[in-house]
Amino acid sequence: MIMPVQTTQVQVDTEAVRELTADLIRIPTVNQAGEDAAILVLGDVLDREGIDYVVETDIPHRPNLIVEMGDGNGPTLWLNGHVDTVPIGNRLTWIHEPFGGDLVGGRMYGRGASDNKSGVAAMIHAAIALHRARVALHGRLRLTAVMGEEEGQIGIRHLLDLGLTADAFISTQWSTAAQIAVGYRGLCWIEVTTTGRAAHGSRPSSGINAVEQMLDVVLPALRGLKLAGADSQVIETPGFSVNLSRIGGGDAANTVPDSCRATLDYRLGNGQCSGEVQRAIETELARLRASDPTLAVQFQVLLRAEPFLTDPSCDLVQRLSRAVVEVTRQSPRYFGKTGTGEANLVYQRLGIPVVAYGPGNESGHSPDEYVVIEDLERVSEVYVRTISAYLNAPSRESTGSPTP
């Protein structure tokens, strides 16, 4: 039986959480720019509180911030968020300033408000609240604010390569306050290339049209692939899907194109893996080549991530769920992310319970991205309660324990 932990003396500074979220939003962190400035802001906040941290800079100008708290005599709970964002897109599609952190009608707007700067601010101020209350953490609490998530999880990948491990992992990616993401779909991005023979556009029969081969032969076959898999009812959009995300070929209007390149985004459901996609593509392209000797087609895998599903009955999910009930007065809804993220990589590399729980929502990557302020505040409090429960850490002040 999981017993509740007394956290009445641990108070999150909700105004400070809002301020830090806005400060982070106001720093453009797109295409590798601004990540160091965002980490400096976080460092300044921690310095004012007397909380030790390390800025890992093995990759020049691409910092990761690492905070570790606790006595080390117990499990390690790892919370992670990223400071980089996608670009804003067409500025004209935004009503609110993309890097303004505007607070309107209970929402804060700006690029990164949902994905993932609010989550970073919430976990930092949860740690600050625990530090101020002199909570004795029996184990290790690790917080990391990383770079490069939007470029293939570069930051968290580097930390894992350095050997960081844990017993449980919470991604601060979006869920809203009353939901817990217990799984993610996987992905396999491939780039496929057809190579033809150039000729004058007035004599198409003299060449081999690589664009036509791509459109008429290769893409219909690759978009029609089917994979078996044990879909889970937890996942909102279960199973296998494919999206043609990029295509291009040809050099001039009056030339038979001798090359064409396309990118396909395969998404994987529970029980499927990227290796199956690769093998299915190899089989299909071999069949196409055998039926058409003029077809020269190759492919390469650009990025892969495996799907996962954490058992909702595990200790991490149950303690997090209890905290959600205590704070929101709602039983949490478990769901699966249709996309992928750092959680996939951590689950694959460490094999530990992994969830995503954060204040954001599905507005990430969209114009007028926002976070609901109530969710931001509630999630911060849920973090405090979950950390305290998982690390068996009652407040010294609330229990009357001696102050060090």
Question: What does R_g of the chain's alpha carbons equal in angstroms?
Answer: 24
Percentage of the chain lying above the pLDDT 70 cut: 92
Which residue matches tokens 């390469």? 300
- Is the Cβ–Cβ distance between 397 and 331 less than 8 Å? no
CA dihedral 194, 198, 204, 207 (to 10 degrees): -70
Residues 6 or more apart in contact with residue 152 via CB below 8 angstroms: 303
User: Which pLDDT band holds residue 230 (cuts at 50, 70, 90)?
Assistant: low
Cβ–Cβ < 8 Å for 21, 376: yes
Residue 111 identity: R
pLDDT in tens, 321-374: 999 999 999 999 999 998 899 999 999 999 999 999 999 999 999 999 999 999
Kindly report whether the global pTM for this prediction surpasses the value 0.85: yes
Tell me the CA distances in angstroms from 313 to 182, 238, 250, one per residue in order.
11, 21, 54
Which of 231-240, 284-293, 392-401 is the least confident region?
Answer: 392-401
pLDDT tens digit string along 146-190?
999 998 899 999 999 999 999 999 999 999 999 999 999 999 999
- Per residue in 307-317, pLDDT (tens digit) is 999 999 999 99
Which residues, including other chains, have CB under 8 Å from residue 105's CB and lie 6 or more apart? none
CA distances to 241, 242, 255 from 249, in Å = 25, 21, 11
User: 231 pLDDT band (50/70/90 cuts)?
Assistant: low
Q: Which domains does the chain have, with CATH numbers?
A: 14-183+307-399 (3.40.630.10), 186-305 (3.30.70.360)
Report the helix count and the strand count for the chain, using DSSP H and E: 11, 18
State whether residue 294 is helix, strand or coil.
coil
Determine the pLDDT at residue 400.
31
